[in-house]
Amino acid sequence: MGIQAESLEKTYQLMKEQLSHLVPEAELRYKAELVYEINRLKKERGAVILGHNYMEPALYHTVPDYVGDSLELSRIAARTEGDPIIFCGVRFMAETAKILAPEKTVLLPASKAGCSLADSITAEEVRRLKAAFPGVPVVAYVNTYADLKAEIDYCCTSSNAARVVQAIDSDTIIFLPDEYLAKNVARETGKRIIFPAQNGEIQQVDPGELRNTLIGWHGKCEVHEKFTVDDIQRVREQFPDAIVLAHPECSPEVVEASDFSGSTSAMIKYVKESQAPRYLLLTECSMADNIWAENRDKEMIRMCSVRCPHMNEITLEEVLDSLRKNQYRIELPEEIIRQARRSVDRMLEIA
Ligand code: 13P
Ligand code: SF4
C-alpha cells in the first residue's frame, strides 16, 4: 500500500494517474511534494503509517503502509515491526494501538482528533453503571478512551459487535456508549434494549426487566446520526438501481431501509465485489472518494455535506510534522494499559 516512488516527479505522476479526477492539478503538485517527503522520512525513521478508511484521498492512497477499519488497524498495530507507529485516524484508535503495542512510540498527527462517541461517556459513569448493575458484563465500543476500556470486560468494533455480544454467556449485558449501534446489535441478536440513564441519573430497573436485555447509553456519532430514511427514499426515487450501504452507527431505521450495513472495510469490500452500477454510502464522505479512486466503473452518489471534523484534522502537513517533530505522542499510564488490554485481547480472541 502507499506510493513507492524513487523521485518527486514519479510520485506526482502516480498520484495524477490515480487521483486527478478527485484532486485539482494545483493541489496535486503541492501534495506530491508532501507525500514524497513523508515517504522518504518514513523509510529513514523505520516508521509505519496506518490509515483509517476515512482519510482524505490524497493521504489515503499515498502514505499509509496499511489502511483499514478499526479492527483491522488494531490487529496490524499489534503485530507490526515499524516504530514509531504514525496513526492517521482519531485519538481512541491511536490509544488502542498503544494498548496493543505499549513498547512502541505511537504518534497521532493532530493534538486533539476526538470523537463524539468517545466523548459521550466517562470512566466514572461506567463505574456508576457497574455499581447499579453488579455482576453484569460490560461491552464497550472501541470508540472510547483507554481509561474507560480499563473499566470494561470486552471491547468491540463495528465489524464484530454482534459476535462479541453473542459470545458472552449472560442474560443481561451493558453495551456502551453508542445508542444506535446498541439498537442495531439488539435487533441482530434478538435482545431487548433499555436505557436506564436519564439526565445523568441511573434509574432503578426491576430485575424481571433485565431478561435477554442490553443496557444502553445515549452516545451518538455526530456524522452518522445525520442520515435519515428520507435521504434514502429521495435517492431511491431518482436512482432505483442504487445500492444503499449504511454504517451501523446510523439509526436502526436507516440501517433497516438500507441494502447492507457493515464496518467501513465491509462496505468497501461489498462495493468492490458487487456488480451494481451505483451506490449510496451513508458514512463519512471520503470513503466514497476512496472507493471511486479504485473503482472508476462504479458511480458513487454524492450526498456529501457530512464529514467527520475529527478525522479531518489529519492532513498530509500534520503527518509530515508528526514524523519531523515526533508528535503527538500517545502516553498512557502502565496500569491503564494493562487493564484496558484485557478487554481488547478478549475481543481479538472472539473476532
Ligand atoms: P470502523 O471500525 O467501521 O472503521 O468505524 C470507525 C468509525 O469511527 C466509524 O465512524
Ligand atoms: Fe467518531 Fe463519528 Fe468521527 Fe467515527 S465518524 S470518529 S464515530 S465522530
Cβ(178) – ligand 2 distance below 6 Å = no
Q: Quick one: pLDDT at residue 306?
A: 75
Pseudo-torsion of CA 335, 339, 342, 348, nearest 10°? -80
Q: How many residues does the chain have?
A: 351
Pick the more confident residue, 185 or 204: 185
3.30.30.60, 3.40.50.140, 2.60.40.2240, 3.40.50.10800: which CATH number matches 8-114+311-325?
3.40.50.10800
Mutate to test the pocket of ligand 1, among 143, 220, 286 (most ligand atoms within 8 A of CB): 143
CA of 254 to the centre of ligand 1 (A): 17
CA of 221 to the centre of ligand 1 (A): 10
Question: Taking all residues of the chain, what is their mean pLDDT, rounded to a whole number?
Answer: 96
Note every long-range contact of 255-258, with CB atoms under 8 Å and residues 24 or more positions apart, other chains counting: 255/180, 255/184, 257/229, 257/232, 257/233, 258/232, 258/282
- Look up the CATH architecture of domain 118-220: 3-Layer(aba) Sandwich (3.40)
Mutate to test the pocket of ligand 2, among 156, 158, 223 (most ligand atoms within 8 A of CB): 223
Give the Cα separation of 2 and 39 in Å (integer): 9
pLDDT digits (tens, 9 = 90+) for 132-156: 999 999 999 999 999 999 999 999 9
Give φ, ψ of 148 to 5 degrees. Answer: -75, -40
Q: Quick one: pLDDT at residue 304?
A: 66
| Mean pLDDT (whole number) for 273-279 | 96
- For residue 202, list its beta bridge partners: 197
pLDDT digits (tens, 9 = 90+) for 50-94: 999 999 999 999 999 999 999 999 999 999 999 999 999 999 999
CA of 223 to the centre of ligand 2 (A): 6
- Cell (9 digits) for 6: 524513487
On the question of pLDDT at 2 being above 90, the answer is no
Sequence ranges of the chain with CATH classification 3.40.50.10800: 8-114+311-325, 118-220, 224-300
Give the Cα separation of 143 and 277 in Å (integer): 33
Q: Quick one: pLDDT at residue 59?
A: 98
3.40.50.10800, 3.30.1130.10, 3.20.20.70, 3.20.20.150: which CATH number matches 224-300?
3.40.50.10800
| Mean pLDDT (whole number) for 90-107 | 98
CA of 54 to the centre of ligand 1 (A): 8
pTM for this prediction: 0.96
Least confident stretch, 266-280, 303-317, 335-349: 303-317
Are residues 158 and 264 in contact, defined by beta-carbon separation less than 8 angstroms? yes
